[in-house]
Amino acid sequence: MNSHERVMRAFEHKEPDRVPIDLGSIQSGIHIKAYKRLLDYLDIRDENIQYYDFGQQLAVPCEDLLQRFHVDTRYLRFSDNIKTENFQPEYMGEYVGIYDALGVFWGNFANKKLDDILYYDPVVHPLQDLKTVEEIHAYEWPDVRKMPQFYELKRIGEKLRNSKYAISTHPLGCVFEYTTFMFGFVTALRYIRTRPELLKAAMEHILEYWMILSENFLKAVGDYVDIVCVNGDLAEQAGPIMSEEIYISLIKPYELFLSNHIHSLADVKINYHSCGSTPQFIPHFIEMGYDAYNPVQISAYDMEPCSLKQRFGEHITFWGGLCNTQKTLPFGTPEEIRKEVRRNLECFKPGGGYIASNIHNITAEVPPENITAMFDAAHEFGDY
């Protein structure tokens, strides 16, 4: 099988020739520091190192590395990659960083050397001090009439399609999670119970932004895309950050609207991202038409791989879950990583419905030999 056939067969919950492998998005990416060390370790040259996502300091993996690890996916972004040497930081008080399209400032402390900064957090929250629905609506939201059209990406999309890889997008949706960036995490969680009308007002505008962006993007290149990523972090290590009842009444309607909208625009699969312990919400993900669930954080509560596959594997594709990103990958030995990858594959791969990737992003401290051991084991033990 070629890569496109392999990935799409996995989505059909049928067994391909081997488990598809993914690397390279902002949901399964690699920190630029770890990337540079990995290139040196594998003796691979990348003359044009770029940020795939500046906030998380993720690199754009070069084609030689993707080939070395037998990666079956390629990503079509809706914004330009930033060459590392061209980054021009902005300063906001004590912070250095960059603004995003919705007015959130992603920063770190300006008294640090830029080379010592590992990632940038949302540190300036533009809605934090707004107290009424009217103030939320009056915020300077992006002008949908000026949203980009993306027709210049057609040539890139066509080239990727002809390469016979499975083509995925940069995230084209992030509704509730973005309220935590715009209000601040603590404030957003407090408003879930105390001022839900403020969250609803914000989510109306955030949803409109993503609907227009996804519509413009998929109108331009939808014929070349197989998978659309959507973000929505709803949980942490021990469980969801809200009750199921609150999720159903407050958040699910907006996420369902976006899911239906994306599916109406193009014949694509949706890969939904939520970190943490999510079994309580996976039935809702299935009901809303999410085709895959990422990153499958196996170190979180009730996220044991074989149990997840047994409970939900017939109805949703698991994307991730390859090796414990918090412990084994950064701190284990290559042999320990091989054993864990083999064990997790034995759980996830039967009957298809699985795409192998690291659990979220490979962080800066991970040794290159461990990264190599993980992907080599995924290829070695992934045969059906």
Asked if 325 and 344 count as a contact pair (C-beta separation under 8 A), the reply is: no
Asked if 120 and 57 count as a contact pair (C-beta separation under 8 A), the reply is: yes
- For the cut 70, the answer to whether the pLDDT of residue 84 exceeds it is no
- For the cut 70, the answer to whether the pLDDT of residue 80 exceeds it is no
Q: What is the mean pLDDT of residues 10-29?
A: 96
Q: What is the mean pLDDT of the chain?
A: 95
Q: What is the mean pLDDT of residues 44-52?
A: 91
The packing angle between helices 176-183 and 185-194, to 10°, is 110
Asked if 45 and 39 count as a contact pair (C-beta separation under 8 A), the reply is: yes
- For the cut 70, the answer to whether the pLDDT of residue 85 exceeds it is no
Can you give the residue ranges of every domain in the chain? 3-85+126-380
Indicate the pTM of the whole model: 0.96
Q: Strand, coil or helix: what is 366?
A: coil
Higher pLDDT among residues 114 and 343, named by residue? 343
Strand pairing class (354-355; 317-319): parallel
Express each pLDDT in 229-242 by its tens digit: 999 999 999 999 99
377 — pLDDT class (breaks 50, 70, 90): very high
Q: What is the mean pLDDT of residues 247-253?
A: 97
Sequence-ordered list of residues with C-beta below 8 angstroms from that of 252, at least 6 positions apart, any chain:
284, 288
Element (DSSP H or E) covering residue 74: strand 73-76
Asked if 21 and 357 count as a contact pair (C-beta separation under 8 A), the reply is: yes
- For the cut 90, the answer to whether the pLDDT of residue 144 exceeds it is no
Question: Token pair for residue 367?
Answer: 């040794």
Sequence-ordered list of residues with C-beta below 8 angstroms from that of 220, at least 6 positions apart, any chain:
149, 150, 151, 153, 154, 157
- Assess if CATH 3.20.20.210 describes domain 3-85+126-380: yes
